[in-house]
Chains A and B, each alone.
Chain A
Amino acid sequence: MTEETLPPVTMLSTPIRLDYDFTAGLAQSKTLSGYAQGKFIGQRCPKCKKVYVPSGGSCPTDGVAMDEIVELANCGTVTTYCVVNVPFAGQSIELPYICAQILLDGANISFMGLIQEIPTDEVRMGLRVEAVWVPEDELGPNLSSVKYFRPTGEPDADYETFKEYL
């Protein structure tokens, strides 16, 4: 290989990489340990009584520490959703799929999840869904433990019950 045979350089790969050592902290660790047990764990604000999942440890409205742990239901209501049709780098789920905001029963904030076991054109606001977890021996302290959400078959939730969470 002689240098004369090589074409001039016109493109440059410049990956930018940031290596973090992430510490979840007490509040998020509680939520993460919940995933390892197949449970959704949130926290309640002592002032406004709202339940956040996952919890960041302090109430975003009142700024006070949340120390009460709340185990949420395994089911909830689709508040809004998006049908993903466009391929993108790093995509790991077969298209089309549905990414939804799910208001877990007992929570005051919605939770992002994948919806499966229903045709994409049948998903709707108010749809009642439940979490499907990976097999017990695959559960871990991360969101991969939640395989997806699927319809429960219950009647749709009334719009009035989730309109504040859109």
Chain B
Amino acid sequence: MADVVDVYRSPHVLEYPYVRSTGPIVGAYLTGLRDGRIMGAKGAAGRVIVPPTEYDPETAEELTELVEVGPGGVVTTWAWVAEPREDAPLAEPFAWALVQPDGADTGILAPVAASGPEAMASGMRVTASFLPTDERQGRVQDLRCFVPEEAS
């Protein structure tokens, strides 16, 4: 065999096809997204947690009361994605942001479809943009992104 050997390269994909049960709270959140609504859980002292948790993060009490929040909200923090990867939620450059929906006391990590980083700011108003009804599957991706309110 020859002294010089080509070094082989190949794509290698590792995939685990998990299916999991959602439980009542996450299930209600995903059902809400599928139906075009953002649901939060009412926690201790009336604090609304979004996405909803099964237990209050501070008191550990079980949470069962769900309330609708949004669709508008406020960007609290954000990071600009100038070169989205293949599996990014949006093909065009976008921001990953923590968006605190109206009526909620916490933020959702979600994409914000803005024209550029200069169009992003903490405190800016955004509103939810869902996939078309027939494309929603009860997944977090059903809430496609938030868009700046003036552009909506």
Contact = CB atoms under 8 A, between A and B. Distances in A.
Interface of A: 1, 3, 6, 8-26, 28-30, 32-34, 37, 41, 69, 71, 89, 141
B5 A29 contact: yes
Interface residues on B, range: 20 to 34
B58 interface: no
30 contacts: A1-B133, A3-B36, A6-B34, A9-B31, A10-B22, A10-B27, A11-B22, A12-B26, A13-B18, A14-B19, A15-B18, A17-B15, A18-B15, A20-B11, A21-B11, A21-B12, A22-B10, A23-B7, A24-B7, A24-B8, A24-B9, A24-B10, A26-B5, A26-B7, A29-B6, A29-B7, A30-B5, A32-B8, A33-B5, A141-B8
A19 B86 CA distance: 11
A9 B9 contact: no
Contacts of B138: 9, 12
Contacts of B10: 21-22, 24
B29 to A, nearest CB: 9
Given A1-B133, A20-B11, A23-B9, 12 more contacts: A6-B34, A11-B22, A12-B21, A16-B16, A18-B14, A19-B12, A21-B9, A23-B7, A23-B8, A29-B5, A29-B6, A33-B8
